Structure 1
Amino acid sequence: MVIFNYETDFQLDNEEKYENWIEHIVESEDFYLGDISYIFCTDDFLHEINVKYLDHDTLTDIISFDYTEGSIISGDIFLSIDRVRENALEFGVDFDTELLRVMAHGVLHYCGYKDKTKEESDLMRRKEDEKMTLFHVEQ
């Protein structure tokens, strides 16, 4: 797992703990961790990606590009730190909790989980909650 920051000074406190957690998520879904990059960025930068590559003129907290092959999970996950902060306020949770949710969300998409229908969204939310608890387990 590789962490990049683009147009933001945001830094994870303990990158190794996050790396171990992401690997644990992937393995708990019976996949193997390949190359995953997390790119922490601004609303403006992620909006540009959303318009250019997905033809969506909206703000979003996450965009993921999936390069998974077979059982090896790989991809680029772009996260807007601005949007994560706003969503945390809106949902009444702290920033770290919302960050975990969004980070898990991207990897869960690579594991095959969708969120287009209500049923898919409900399952995704349950999986996010399940995987967030793994972060707090000693590794």
Structure 2
Amino acid sequence: MTINIEYESEKKLDIPYEDIITAVIETSMDYEGCPYEAEVNVLITDNEDIRQINQEFRNIDNPTDVLSFPMVDYEFPSDFDRLEDMANDYFNPETGELLLGDIVISVDKVIEQAEKYGHSEAREMAFLVAHSMLHLFGYDHMEEEERQIMEQKQEEILSRRGYVR
């Protein structure tokens, strides 16, 4: 598994963010039953940079907590069965790893939301990574039923790592 983490904010988190990100990505992969080694890129930035990315890719001129950029087009979430038929599209030719996608997290939002929701920055970071990983597996929360499924999966992933409310 390849997890590339870039920290591009002057504001520092006083948590073991690399360990948290790695553990939640690995737990998410196991939880969803991904049969492949995978590659995930994570960028930790600030509100201004995530606002610019949000504007560019979603036409929303506001900062957000996390953005997910899936590389795989699933017929339905976590449908890994057909991916080998499209190996040229979804796998790194050098490593053979499934290219799951990119995650962008605002360090400012990690701090703000941890305080707002009354839990630790570590738990907030873990939550945002779990949420984003589910998007990389093809889940969404546009409809109420989808939202409930994602929330349940997020909580189960987090509880496996000991991040409970």
TM-score when scaled to structure 1?
A: 0.85
Paired position in structure 2 for 1:62: 66
* Deviation per residue, 1:89-126 (Å, 9 max, x gap): 22222211111110101111112221112221122111
Work out whether 1:52 is the aligned partner of 2:56.
Answer: yes
Instruction: Tell me the CA shift for residue 64 of structure 1.
Output: 1.2
Identity, % of aligned positions: 25
Unaligned runs of 5+ in 2: 74-82, 85-97
How many residue pairs get aligned? The number is 137
Work out whether 1:89 is the aligned partner of 2:91.
Answer: no
Instruction: State the alpha-carbon separation in 2 of the partners of residues 10 and 98 from structure 1.
Output: 12
Paired position in structure 2 for 1:4: 6
Instruction: State the alpha-carbon separation in 1 of the partners of residues 14 and 137 from structure 2.
Output: 26
Structure with bigger RCO (C-alpha 8 Å, 6+ apart): 2
Q: CA RMSD in A?
A: 2.3
Paired position in structure 2 for 1:24: 27
Amino acid in the other structure paired with 2:40:
I
Instruction: State the alpha-carbon separation in 1 of the partners of residues 113 and 159 from structure 2.
Output: 20
**Distance 1:78-1:114 versus aligned 2 partners, 3 A rule:** same
TM-score when scaled to structure 2?
A: 0.73
Unaligned runs of 5+ in 1: none
